[in-house]
A and B are shown apart, each in its own frame.
Chain A
Amino acid sequence: MPARFIRKLLELWGSHREGVEFSYLMQITFWGVRGSYPVPGAATVRYGGQTSCVEARSASGEIVIVDAGTGMRQLGNKLARELGGVAGNFHVLLSHVHWDHIQGLPFFSPVYMPGTRISVYALLTAADELNQVIGGITRHEFFPMPLEAVPAHFDFQKVEPGVDFVIGSFHVIPIALNHPFGSVGYRIDGDGSSWAYVSDTAPFDQVLHKQHFLSGPEPLSADDLTALGAMREALVARLRGVDTVVYDTHFLPDEYSRFPHYGHSTPDQALVICKEAGIRRLVLYHHAPSHTDEMMDRIAADYLAKGATMGIEVLTSYEGMTLPIGPEAT
């Protein structure tokens, strides 16, 4: 059966309905789509208010989790139900360690199940060791139980941009991104297909994020411009041939122009990168906390239309959305 047909069929059936698992393609599920901090309330019920967390599931049921934002609590509850009391072995890829990308970890219920193993992959940006940085969020002052004391066993793996590695049947390549204190995206190949997670990142022209506080854009040196160009080129090269790209599109263009130094992109900037890399489908992600459901509806419609003129299908992520990843574009 042609892959395109299978994919359409899955989309029509709604393969994400609970308890229904199809085993033809890798699929990704969005557990948190919001940036910065969780946003409860009437304005976020449809797109969701939890922060960054995406689950990728291979055809055979292997899982990798990308980012450990507040969406991870709900994912943990689901995985615990699936495992029915059996200890699991989880792999968590972190883009970076800002609060909105790690805050869900202490609320991931398998952490409290003896025998659970959790491997955390992250960029080493500071002199601090990863276990101290991640463990630091459960210090006595912040959380009742320290990471060292939980029943699950944690190990920490340092990732380096461009140095690929394997998790089960997934092949993973970290990609350097432009964000305060560093961030990585991930290209994830599996089941003859691939998707990429590109969040959080600023575009690659106006600001180069380093390891200090920016109160506004700083003048760029020739070296800075070279570094930005190289980062952009490597990103486009890594994305080439990827079916679906999940991209940090926190800002609308007018918001970006006011906060170019916050480390986030617009859908327009994502579209330019995706066009160059020949991407079939772009998924808007890491929505600003101030973007209400009504605004998100407009953003979704506007960029669906704009993407169509460029030959790119643009979807807007919402909590609970599952996408099968098409194989034919690789």
Chain B
Amino acid sequence: MKLRFWGVRGSFAMPGREFLRYGGNTTSIEIVTNVGQRLLVDLGTGATEYAKHLMGSEFGKGQGLLPILLSHTHLDHIQGLPFFTPFFIKGNEIQIMGANPSSGLSLESTLQNQLAPHYSPLNGLENLAAGVTIESFTPGVTITLPGYEVVTAAVPHGNMWTTAFRVIADDKVITIITDVEYPRPDEPLAVAIDLARDADLLVHDAMHADHDYELRRGWGHSPARAGVSLAERAGAKKLALFHHSPDATDEMIDELVERTASRTSVQVFAAAEGSYLDV
């Protein structure tokens, strides 16, 4: 199984020289099995870059098949949806799956609101030329997709819940927990430990350095050390710090990785846009 980060930034896309090495696009993660079955997690602005990449393949000819999992529907996780070009090619089959937001609105209505005529010239999901299905699930379920088994769980994110994923394929495990804040960052919840158990790679919210976490406690994001505590307890082999703060320049992320790695035996790196990682 391979993984590629197309967007690693949290909250807000950050163009500019200070963000080139890790990347300024908001969250989007591609996973590919050994035989080439694809899975996308989140549709931040990184998905617009992924879309260009896909258009060079069967998706350009309207023969693509893609399941997309959404962690939640905050804008930085769905911002790329209206510009995801495979949606505009007839014949592509795209399946969007996520939990219903805790407001009570369905996932489908939420995405319809994003494409409401005043906000977007697309004027609704029905105008996407591809076959698009929106399916909501209740976190806790295990989803079976071609080549994958995905265990889901709800984790706390400020005043709401997000969905975390344990993606199993090719006898390997990738756990993705983005946009999460545990009541105590050094004591990850049991549900997170179960999801990350013996994972080959744990991708975890690391929006804050320790000093700025103290100022933003309760805002729904984790300091980098929360991912470390979880990786240690769950026995995860590698930790990718993810959902970087829009204020974190490349140098600041370098420092964060260095500080975080020095306190653990887990292999730690910062998620960066660009290349495929073998898991």
C-alpha gap A137/B101 in the complex (Å): 15
A244 at the interface (CB under 8 A from B): no
Asked if B16 contacts A40 (CB within 8 A), the reply is yes
Report the minimum CB–CB distance from A135 to chain B (whole Å).
Answer: 12
A139 at the interface (CB under 8 A from B): yes
Q: Give A200's nearest chain B residue, CB to CB.
A: B121
A289 at the interface (CB under 8 A from B): yes
B19 at the interface (CB under 8 A from A): yes
| Residues on B with beta carbons closer than 8 Å to the beta carbon of A215 | 127
Asked if A143 contacts B74 (CB within 8 A), the reply is yes
B83 at the interface (CB under 8 A from A): yes
B277 at the interface (CB under 8 A from A): no
A178 at the interface (CB under 8 A from B): no
Interface string of A247-265 (1 = CB under 8 A from B): 0000000000000001100
A212 at the interface (CB under 8 A from B): yes
Asked if A40 contacts B14 (CB within 8 A), the reply is yes
The segment from B110-118, B147-155, B227-235, B252-260 found at the interface with A is B110-118
| A interface secondary structure, majority | loop
Asked if B118 contacts A181 (CB within 8 A), the reply is yes
Q: Quick one: which of A19-59 are within 8 Å of B by CB?
A: 36-42, 44-45, 48-50
Offer 22 A-B interface pairs, CB within 8 angstroms, sorted by A.
A36-B83, A37-B45, A38-B13, A40-B9, A41-B15, A41-B24, A70-B12, A73-B12, A98-B118, A98-B120, A103-B79, A126-B118, A139-B103, A139-B113, A140-B102, A140-B160, A141-B74, A142-B75, A212-B117, A262-B121, A263-B121, A319-B15
C-alpha gap A211/B117 in the complex (Å): 8
| Residues on A with beta carbons closer than 8 Å to the beta carbon of B74 | 141-144
Total cross-chain contacts (CB, 8 A): 126
C-alpha gap A45/B19 in the complex (Å): 10
| Residues on B with beta carbons closer than 8 Å to the beta carbon of A37 | 13, 45, 48, 79-80, 82-83
| Residues on B with beta carbons closer than 8 Å to the beta carbon of A203 | none
Most chain A C-beta atoms within 10 Å of own C-beta, residue among B9, B12, B73, B219: B12
Q: Which residues of B contact A (CB under 8 A)?
A: 9, 11-17, 19-20, 23-25, 45, 48-49, 73-75, 79-80, 82-83, 101-103, 105, 110, 113-114, 116-124, 127, 158-160, 219-220, 246
Report the minimum CB–CB distance from B178 to chain A (whole Å).
Answer: 14
Q: Give B7's nearest chain A residue, CB to CB.
A: A40
| Residues on A with beta carbons closer than 8 Å to the beta carbon of B49 | 41
Q: Which residues of A contact B (CB under 8 A)?
A: 36-42, 44-45, 48-50, 70, 73, 96-99, 102-103, 107, 125-126, 128, 133, 136-137, 139-144, 180-181, 211-215, 262-263, 289, 319
| Residues on A with beta carbons closer than 8 Å to the beta carbon of B116 | 136
Asked if A40 contacts B103 (CB within 8 A), the reply is no
Counting from the closest, the 7 A-B pairs by CB-CB distance are A49-B15, A40-B24, A213-B123, A180-B121, A38-B13, A140-B103, A141-B101
Report the minimum CB–CB distance from A250 to chain B (whole Å).
Answer: 13
| Residues on A with beta carbons closer than 8 Å to the beta carbon of B160 | 140, 144
Residues A49 and B118 in contact in the complex (CB < 8 Å), given A37-B48, A212-B123: no
C-alpha gap A96/B119 in the complex (Å): 9
Contacting residue for A49 out of B24, B75, B220, CB 8 A: B24
Asked if A141 contacts B73 (CB within 8 A), the reply is yes
Report the minimum CB–CB distance from A19 to chain B (whole Å).
Answer: 20
| Residues on B with beta carbons closer than 8 Å to the beta carbon of A41 | 15, 20, 23-25, 49
Q: A140-B101, A142-B75, A214-B121 are in contact. List 10 more A-B contacts (CB 8 A).
A: A37-B79, A40-B19, A41-B15, A99-B114, A133-B118, A137-B75, A140-B102, A144-B220, A213-B123, A215-B127
